[in-house]
Amino acid sequence: MINNSRVNVFTSPSEFLFSMKLAPDGKIYVGHQVTNNYLGVINYPDNSGMSCNYVNSGIYLNGKHSGWGLNNLMEYGYYCNLLTDINETPTQESISIYPNPATFSFTISSTNKIQSIKVFNVIGEVVYKSEPNNNQSTINSNQFAKGIYFVQITDENKNVVNRKILVQ
């Protein structure tokens, strides 16, 4: 019975798919062969058959590729520094982002004046920028798709602090 309910959501005679990974945004990401610069995305993994909405070229990797698959240890932060492309300077200042996870908006609060805020998506694209020049800034999170984002805050002393935020 289970075998008879099986539905192929993607087939290709020339392309190979590798590991799949359930992400915090509730989607499943699929690694491609080395020659493909995309990750496949199962947008609705709880839906059956074609309604799961598999998109073979779901996320462009900016000319990079997923190699043999996806990292199976991503949830363990000490294995992988997700902010390697964002210069981070250690600082003693206190930065808060709340609420986290965010639904409608989130607030960034700092002991120093915030010079700039950049929000990056998981593939490193800047999706939001501002220069508030005060100690607090509220950002409307409705403008972002659900998922994990990286927030880079630069203060008046040019200290850079990076934080993660989950948008629900």
CA distance 131 to 121: 19
Judged by phi (left if over 0) then psi (alpha if -120 to 50, else beta), residue 124 lies in left
Q: Which domain holds residue 38?
A: 3-76
Tokens 């491609």 correspond to: 32
Same domain, 61 and 135: no
Same domain, 31 and 61: yes
Instruction: Please state the domain count of the chain.
Output: 2
Same domain, 99 and 155: yes
Tokens 């199976």 correspond to: 72
What CATH number does the domain containing 100 carry? 2.60.40.1930
| DSSP code at position 24 | T
Same domain, 37 and 112: no
Residue 146, φ and ψ in degrees, nearest 5: -60, 140
Same domain, 102 and 71: no
Per-residue pLDDT of the chain (168 residues; tens, 9 = 90+): 777 888 888 888 777 788 888 887 888 888 887 667 888 899 998 888 889 999 988 888 888 877 666 765 544 443 344 444 444 444 445 788 999 899 999 999 999 999 999 999 888 889 999 999 899 999 999 999 999 999 999 999 888 888 899 999
The count of other CB atoms within 10 Å of the CB of residue 118 is 17
Same domain, 72 and 85: no
Boundary residue ending a domain (56, 76, 96)? 76
Boundary residue ending a domain (19, 41, 76)? 76
What pTM, to 2 d.p., does this model score?
0.48
